[in-house]
Structure 1
Amino acid sequence: MAYPNLKQSIWLLVLLILIGAGLGIPVAILGTIIDQPLHKSPYVLWLLTLASFVLVVHYVLRRTERTWSSWSDIMPIKAISWQLLLPLVVSILGLLIVSLELGKVMMSLAPTPEVVKDTLRGLVGKKTSYWLAFYGAVIQTPIIEEALFRGIIVGGLLAYWSKYKAAIWSAILFGIYHLNPAQLPVAFILGLVFAWWIIQTGSLLPCILGHALNNFLAITLARSGIPGFKNPKALIFLPWWVVVCAVLLAAIGLWWFYQVSKREETDQLEAEVEPERHC
């Protein structure tokens, strides 16, 4: 039977959080012994995040009676057409601005819990080295989150539901996973887009690239000091026309991506059928 279904997907997220908390306890105890706040160190936080993911993947492999040599089953990375890159960039540029504004609205309605704020500051805050934040947010996070949510979870849900339901439920889980009311709609939208991209292309590559570009722009703009992009105590919204343009940009990029991927799929099917015609 295909793995995971919805209940099993929820359990994987709970397990990921529990493992992270479990690994954090001895780190906090060690920090107390040596009088160092190890649990707040960005190096330790990123390492714990990676370790938690590796253990969850190990659990999935054991649960499905596979080995690490089957990594490609949950990490389906195959080459994509270079023609998808420009619509991918256009989509992310539009979605980033829309997501930032949605996040501000949510922050005004449901303030971010202090524990989440502290974690985010430790991982990508201005006191954290830009290059460490870059590694964590632009390299590590896209790879592990896309492998889990789009590789494992979407792959499992597609065996039980239509591609639409699988994409929606994986996006809901992606939003809930962030444990931050302000990030929930943002994560849902991006999760929906990335789920649809892997369904369209059969590859995690566009999802990872899009996720990485989004995070790169987010952490870079947050440190730029540009009003509307940094994270001030008083929320500053961008002009309405900028948001409208961003929505149009995202819509154009997503439609463009769909058209190119659809054409690539058709061309591939024709290429596979052509040899059979000559037999």
Structure 2
Amino acid sequence: MDLLLAGKRIVVVGGSAGIGRAAARQLATEGARVAIVARGRERAEAAAAELADAGAAEAIVVTADVGRPGEAERAVSTAADRLGGLDGIAVTTGLLGHEPIEVGDDRWDEVFHDVLLGTVRSVQSALPHLRRGGGTIVTTAAYSIRAPEIARLPYASLKSGVATFTKGIAKAYGSAGIRANCVCPGAIETEAMARLRARIAEERGIPVEGALERVMTEEWNLDIALGRPGRPAEVGELIAFLLSPRAGYLTGALVNIDGGTDF
């Protein structure tokens, strides 16, 4: 199905790796013009080259840490200038906080800036551009906001804030033609998870195939209907759809993509 994204100008914050990179790649295959915002230039440049090969009408890189004051505004403004405007933004950053509640205030503050403020600042920076002609926003929370665990409470707490923030944006800016939706991934086999799979297999002397699934079931107590972790591309395809005109009446939604995790 053609997502009608050809020529659309979209920023992907966190687009150099994992789910963000997969989303940027899917947008590229649809012929979108994509700006990757990421901390590291080398990996972002590699991702941009990949997008060009995948069919992106344009692929540019802007380096920034959106968790720091002023960086998101600069990055989004730069991207909009270089793309000639903005039709959508996907924010896929915010990975800190996978630790117990007992961490100190400094760490909570760090997670707050990375997980919540990074998203808030990126969306705030995009809104003036999107209001000129309508546009789309996709943020990323996590399935665990519905079943927070004490072992990862900072992460889940701030991702819950992302979900609430996104719903508020959808309500406040719908009359301006802006849609905002929040994707809630479950266990997704990004690069880090793939490395964990290999390490588990090596340490325990078990086949790589099935090693991660075994730990997810027996130790992490994840009861997943599909019996496997998700693939970044599967989440990327969902993000691209939500950014597209094909999702034209969908806004304010929290969309689980977790393989049917029981929680």
TM over 0.5: no
Higher relative contact order (CA 8 A, sep 6+): 1
TM-score, scaled relative to structure 1: 0.29
Name the larger-Rg structure. 1
